[in-house]
Structure 1
Amino acid sequence: MKQRKRTSGRPVKLKRGSSFDVLIAIIAVLTSAAFLYSLFSFKVIPTKWVMLIMLGLSLVLLILAFLSIVRTKRWISVVKRFLLLLIAIATSVGTLFVWRLKDSIYQIGNSTTTEIAYVLVKADSDIQKQSELSQKSVLYHDGTDADIGKKVQEALNKEVANIRYEKNESYLDMSEALLAAQCDAIIVPQSQYNYLTRKNENLSASVRILSEITYTKEHTSSGNIDITEKPFVVFVSGMDEAGELNTDLHSDVNILMLVNPITNEMKMINIPRDSYLPNPALEYGNDKLTHTGMYGVENTLQTIENLFQVDIDYYVKINFSSLIEIVDTLDGINVDVQITFCEQDENRSFAQEDLICLNAGPQELNGKQALAYARHRDSYVDQDLSRNKAQVDIVKGIVKKILSPSGITKVDTLLGNVSDYVMTNFSGDEISAFAASELEDGEAWTISSLTISDRTFDSRINASAPDLGPLDVYLFSKEDVAEVREAIDSFIDPQKLSDFSFDLDDLHGKTYEKLKNNGVVYDVDAQYPH
């Protein structure tokens, strides 16, 4: 008889996997692949973290796959199936979470608003409908609102052919030309129409709105800055009024944020809401800074750029009435309250039971308390300037909380609702890149502030509301402007500080010359005698 050859070791006994085992294994692999793809495409989670997650998942799946083809004890099979199901569920939820977060970021970073413009004709004009504008002369603004004129033209051209468009750089001149029958119609944004009719009470009776054009305005950044590698400037405009963000209202909070992602430093410069400055939207007539917000956040931004001769890279427009939601989502913020006071609640109720009272000193504020502190001014000697400091402290508190370990865990919830009360021209890619850089860096930020404190007040006529008579305003001095410009230059480009110089009689450089050539004198001494 032939003897069987002895073999060394026992052969591995394979088992026939059940269809259920195969199914859950395939699902786990597919959901894991989708999860990893979402992490890679999101570009917020640092690559090294994603690689570690991928390595860990791969090892677990390989071990579970091996256990699926070999005979094991029953309890091991049960554990294996449980782990596969757990991986499938966890990676599915993770994928949904990542895509939701990505969608929220891109929704914030691709802000659009709906704007309205009017086509005006004389009240006694023979033109009765939009189609009759063919071969007619229509004036449009080719200055700061050139993009509005073009958008309205695009809308009109879809309905009417052969309109004769003519450029003009002054809405006031356009309205006078219309009344003098020097043109057949003019294109005017709703905000400018309101201004013109306030300035000239007879205008509304002398003109007629032929048609109302609705257009979409995109708020996008230039994309010329790598905000993970270079310092940049952000303008924060806050509305302390009820209303949608796409509604142009007073800009009550005006903060320049200087951000250096290399040194992890941030400096905030608060600009008084009652600053008396030339309003670009109103032919550079002198106006309160807060009023410039009625003509769009870009108009307020341009006003500040003209004053300090600084290029503002981005803006963030927030509704301070929604401060409650922001702070409460973050589970409160830490603020050093300047004074002991009581203030009305978010509904502006002065009923005793509704008052919100705080004691002076460092403390954690909830949403209602933060809003009360941001609004309060009656207890201060200088009122608005001290309230400005309080608002800066609140913004600092929010930023610090978001950048803290506990704050990061709240980002998903915050972003899920933030589009309702934040509008910005940061792109989704820029927000993602900055977040990824911060997660990888992990270093704490140093946040400081600068408050303009050279307190000079007066009463002046405001271009946006001349009928109200003289209003209380803040007058800038040369020293104010010089201090802010030096702070900006030294922060954005420290190398320039040793060569920092400018003519105090011409603080505004090219902007001054441009405005001077247009007949607008923009001089600190002339506009704001100290």
Structure 2
Amino acid sequence: MKKIRLVMKVIAMVLLGFTLFTSRLLPLNIMIAIGAIEVLLLILAWKRKVLQVFVVLLMLITSSGLMYVEFVAERIINYDPNQVNTISFFVVKDSRTTSIKTAIKNELEFAVSTLLDDKVVTFVEEKLAEKEYMEDLVSYEGIADGISGLLDGTFDVLVVDQGYLSTVLEYDPTFLDETKVIWSIEKTDEIINLTEASVTKEPFVVYIAGVDNRDEFQANRVDVNMLAVVDPIKHNITLVSVPRDAYVQLGCKTRTAMDKLTHAGVYGIDCSIKTMQNLLGVEINYYSTVYFDTVTKLVGALGTIDVYLDEGFVVGGYTFKEGWNVLDQYSALHVARARYAFENGDQQRIKNQQEVIKGIINKLLEPSSLTKIESIIRSVEGTVKTNMTGDEIFALVRMQIIDHRGWTFTQVALTGKDAYLPSYAMGGRELYMVKLDKDKLDETKILLQEALGITQE
């Protein structure tokens, strides 16, 4: 029996030492203190059987808790410095062609839009060449010509970068009902080389993208665009929200490529990052994408949240009153998405999204949420994509554990005037846009520079 107790004590000490040594969560001084206290307790209880069991259990619980926190973080944080574009090959629904092999065998014509990035077109040509298709691709202007060309038989196969799919559906909402996919390929690219920052010693910039992924085939649109300057020294976060319909120059295209901000996402998160950098005049260090359905899942795990709305509205069969509203997972999603219900559209939606976030945070801080921890983790598992490493995130956590100061927030929402202007992604078709207020934009640029500690000359 003595040998068994000795083995258990040794195992508990080794496991605790290993866990403390490898933990990224706790500051060094706290880890040393925990280890020293528990080892001291074990020494004091060395000849006392009951106390020995208690201390060994304490060591095992401490080790398990620290390992669980690390495990939880890995489940929630999806570190990914790459972007993946899915490119699909569409034929009409009643076509006898069911695969890329039969399409090539029957010498069908493949068509691509002139709006597609040259690198994407080259990638498509290379993949088709691997399948021994050596014919030239047919080019068409914009989006509408591609849809009509496929449906009227001008060509046989329409090649669509699925980032464009939401744009295609704006032209023809029945497109997916009239067509089918015979082949899909994925193009993986590294996101532009963003400059890393010392996250606990200097201000850094995070681009937060809220992605609407309700459509099939990854037809994602970045509907929430926020820039956060995080100052770990002053404990201040400066948040700047830009309307999804803001009329901007696309950072990944020529200077004449003007469009609404949400369409930058058509060309990938990389293009959205470049566009935000050019618009606001700051260098982005990190990005984070969060899917809209994460809101549904998280609120579902929490049960309900309390949200204050400064304007009542009706949408999706739900009636929301001015003042406090109790939202479940479905009504919370409607509040976060709704914009056509308001006179000032996206501006009001930005306010409501901030209130939903506050409601979620307040609910998470309630003691009762501890009993739902596993369902909460499952609800957000793998849904947050970022290029910030786990080590950097844990460094911020350690900093907050040492320094208990609260954080202050500076919030800015860019505004502008409604207008109908040509859209690059839609082949020049005029769409609803927001022409940003130049004075407000200039003031915001100065504010961001000050938040970063950059002196204006």
Compute the displacement of 1:274 (Å).
1.3
Root-mean-square deviation (Å): 4.9
Residues 111 and 307 (structure 1 numbering): CA distance in 2 closer, same or farther, change over 3 Å? closer
How many Å separate the matches in 2 of 1:112 and 1:256? Answer: 20
How many Å separate the matches in 1 of 2:140 and 2:340? Answer: 39
Compute the displacement of 1:452 (Å).
1.9
1:468-487 correspondence to structure 2 within 5 Å: 470-487=430-447
How many Å separate the matches in 1 of 2:16 and 2:190? Answer: 32
Residues 464 and 475 (structure 1 numbering): CA distance in 2 closer, same or farther, change over 3 Å? same
Q: Aligned residue for 2:203?
A: 231
- Could you say what secondary structure the match of 1:23 adopts? helix
Compute the displacement of 1:256 (Å).
1.4
Residues 96 and 416 (structure 1 numbering): CA distance in 2 closer, same or farther, change over 3 Å? farther
Q: 2:41 aligns with which of 36, 60, 85?
A: 60
Residues 258 and 383 (structure 1 numbering): CA distance in 2 closer, same or farther, change over 3 Å? same
Compare the two structures and name the one with the higher strand fraction.
2
Q: Aligned residue for 1:25?
A: 6
Q: Aligned residue for 2:352?
A: 390
Q: Aligned residue for 1:38?
A: 19
How many Å separate the matches in 2 of 1:400 and 1:394? Answer: 10
Q: Aligned residue for 2:387?
A: 425
Report if aligned partners of 1:101, 1:416 keep a CA contact under 8 Å in 2: no
Alignment of 1:273 onto 2:254: no
Report if aligned partners of 1:253, 1:273 keep a CA contact under 8 Å in 2: yes
Compute the displacement of 1:422 (Å).
1.9
How many Å separate the matches in 2 of 1:152 and 1:410? Answer: 50
Residues 35 and 130 (structure 1 numbering): CA distance in 2 closer, same or farther, change over 3 Å? farther
How many Å separate the matches in 2 of 1:45 and 1:472? Answer: 50
Report if aligned partners of 1:110, 1:220 keep a CA contact under 8 Å in 2: no
How many Å separate the matches in 1 of 2:291 and 2:359? Answer: 17
The residue identity in structure 2 corresponding to 1:474 is V
Compute the displacement of 1:38 (Å).
2.5
- Could you say what secondary structure the match of 1:58 adopts? helix
How many Å separate the matches in 2 of 1:223 and 1:449? Answer: 24
Q: TM-score, normalised to structure 1's length?
A: 0.64
The residue identity in structure 1 corresponding to 2:32 is M
- Could you say what secondary structure the match of 2:230 adopts? strand
Residues 400 and 45 (structure 1 numbering): CA distance in 2 closer, same or farther, change over 3 Å? farther
Residues 407 and 26 (structure 1 numbering): CA distance in 2 closer, same or farther, change over 3 Å? same
Compute the displacement of 1:272 (Å).
1.0
Where do 5+ consecutive residues of structure 1 fail to align? 1-18, 68-75, 121-126, 133-138, 164-169, 176-186, 200-208, 500-530
Q: Aligned residue for 2:450?
A: 490
> How many pairs align?
422
Report if aligned partners of 2:141, 2:427 keep a CA contact under 8 Å in 1: no
1:329-340 correspondence to structure 2 within 5 Å: 337-340=308-311
Compute the displacement of 1:313 (Å).
1.6
Report if aligned partners of 2:41, 2:55 keep a CA contact under 8 Å in 1: no
How many Å separate the matches in 2 of 1:472 and 1:220? Answer: 30
Q: Aligned residue for 2:423?
A: 462
Percent identity among equivalent residues?
A: 23
The one of the two structures with greater contact order (alpha-carbon pairs below 8 A, sep at least 6) is 2
Compute the displacement of 1:373 (Å).
3.3
Where do 5+ consecutive residues of structure 2 fail to align? 91-99, 106-111, 146-158, 172-180
Compute the displacement of 1:342 (Å).
4.6
* Superposed CA offset, 1:359-386 (max 9, x none): 25xx886655543432344664423212
The residue identity in structure 2 corresponding to 1:90 is I
1:254-293 correspondence to structure 2 within 5 Å: 254-280=225-251, 285-293=257-265
Compute the displacement of 1:260 (Å).
0.8
Alignment of 1:247 onto 2:218: yes
1:305-384 correspondence to structure 2 within 5 Å: 305-327=277-299, 337-344=308-315, 348-350=316-318, 355-357=319-321, 359=323, 367-368=329-330, 370-377=332-339, 380-384=342-346
- Could you say what secondary structure the match of 2:26 adopts? coil
* Superposed CA offset, 1:187-206 (max 9, x none): 9845469979999xxxxxxx
